[in-house]
Amino acid sequence: MHRALIVGVLGAALVLAGCGGGGHGEDRGRTARGDTTCDGRIEGTAHITVWYHTGQSSEFGTLRSQAEEFNRAQKEVRVELVPLPRARSYTDLVLSAAASGDLPDLLDFNGPNLYSYAWSGKLKPIDSCVPKSVRSDLLPSIRAQGTYAGRLWGISTFDSGMGLFVRPSVLKKAGVRIPKGIGDAWTATELTGILHTLRARGVRRPLDLRLSHVAPGEEWNTYGFAPAVESAGGALVDPVHYRTADGYLNSPESVTALTVLQSWQKDGLVDPDKDGRAFAAGRSVISWVGNWKYGEFTKAFPGDVALVPLPDFGRGTVTGMGSWQWGITSNAGDGDAVWRFLAHLLKPEQVYRMSVANGAIPATNSAVRLSPRFGTKGPERLFIEQLRNGVAVPRPRTPAYPAITDAFSRAFARIMLDGAPVRQALDQAVAAIDKDLAAHDGYPQGES
């Protein structure tokens, strides 16, 4: 599939904009293995092509405006923005373009795919592009998600976070305590009791787990509920060497955590959420979800929505993290030109601007300081504290992640929707993951 064909099929590319400085001079990030993506020079006028998934219209509209401004502000780099559909077909397009050598200069992709893309040679490391000042301004979660094999391969302008949105008025009437922060999370046992108390008080299905999004292969299953496994002391795969899932995903701790979740479903405490509005419509008063629902929920219940940590299954609360990232592809002709555009997107005012548009968490400390929602006394401050203090755990940083998430997602759907035996479903997921790991010899670093 050639780039011209993609553009022809999906609509004419928009020639757009941006401005800014790059990672040049003494303040450049570290370089390893002798390869550099940025050398501090741009030859003539550089033209770069950017692929971007089309999600929220406000998000894409903001990026388009940022690119237009960039192009107007300087003449060295011209940005061509190519919007592509956000769906599984997006990943298929990327893989097809990589196979035919037609990747763009700058690629937007879901964060956990970075490790597979880096390992297989689709991306260039960007250590030589990112100045220390920019690197230190990034939230630690952004640096963690973008790092593979000791190198930085990707960078994002926003992050995500998980928690429980609750209705304080309802909980207080039921005599339920409301956690104050990370160290005060409900235990899983405590939450089970709270759910039964709320049902006795007339809330028939008090918990929203976004079951409308739970289906085999859906990333929500892994993003949303791997934290329960990790909070119990389990893991999706060996977290150090990534050589096997056996003894980790099917460990007693993992089985216990998912058995608790399944028990909530079996006991009728979870709303089916067929319309995707269990919490917003008032049927549930506790919603296990991410930052992107804040606007909808607070609009539905002004002044009566609070954010608390996910429950502690035994080893402390754990939350999901990670979102879409930018990477410089192996096809990029001039890494410095690409970085010049990325540097514009990472300016504090631009990061904050994007977070307002899409409701996501700003990726830099400087942008967080501009945000009333995520600032020191902001209503969503918990998300920042989780991302900074190690409560947020990145999805497994291995090229095997596509196989890991597919296997776990299918197991979780069977557990929650079909009532499958938890240990049996996890054993089957382990077998699928270990088969992929064996087929690739554990994905040795430095080889593809």
Q: Helix or strand or coil: residue 405?
A: helix
* Cα angle 85, 87, 90; round to 5: 65
Q: Give residues with Cβ within 8 angstroms of 310, minimum separation 6.
A: 162, 163, 164, 185, 227, 228, 231, 288, 317, 318, 319
What's the pLDDT score for residue 86? Answer: 65
Measured distance CA(308)–CA(216) in Å, rounded: 28
Kindly state the average pLDDT of the residues 246-267.
98
**Per-residue pLDDT reduced to its tens digit, 285-329:** 999 999 999 999 999 999 999 999 999 999 999 999 999 999 999
Contact 125, 35 (CB under 8 A): yes
Supply 240's token pair: 């150090």
Q: Give residues with Cβ within 8 angstroms of 302, minimum separation 6.
A: none
**Per-residue pLDDT reduced to its tens digit, 2-24:** 333 333 333 333 333 333 333 33
**Per-residue pLDDT reduced to its tens digit, 361-386:** 999 999 999 999 999 899 999 999 99
Kindly state the average pLDDT of the residues 42-70.
91
- Residue 70 above 50 pLDDT? yes
Q: Which residues pair with 434 in a beta bridge?
A: none
Global pTM? Answer: 0.90
Contact 126, 155 (CB under 8 A): yes
Least confident of 13-27, 55-69, 203-217: 13-27
Measured distance CA(65)–CA(305) in Å, rounded: 33
- Residue 268 above 50 pLDDT? yes
224-250: buried (b, 16+ CB within 10 Å) or exposed (e) per residue? bbbbbbbbbbbbbbbeeebbbbeebbb
- Residue 425 above 90 pLDDT? yes
**Per-residue pLDDT reduced to its tens digit, 22-39:** 333 333 333 333 378 999
**Per-residue pLDDT reduced to its tens digit, 190-203:** 999 999 999 999 99
Half-sphere exposure of residue 93: CA atoms within 13 angstroms, side-chain side:
24
Measured distance CA(207)–CA(176) in Å, rounded: 14
Domains of the chain and CATH, by start = 3-159+322-371 (3.40.190.10), 162-320+396-448 (3.40.190.10)
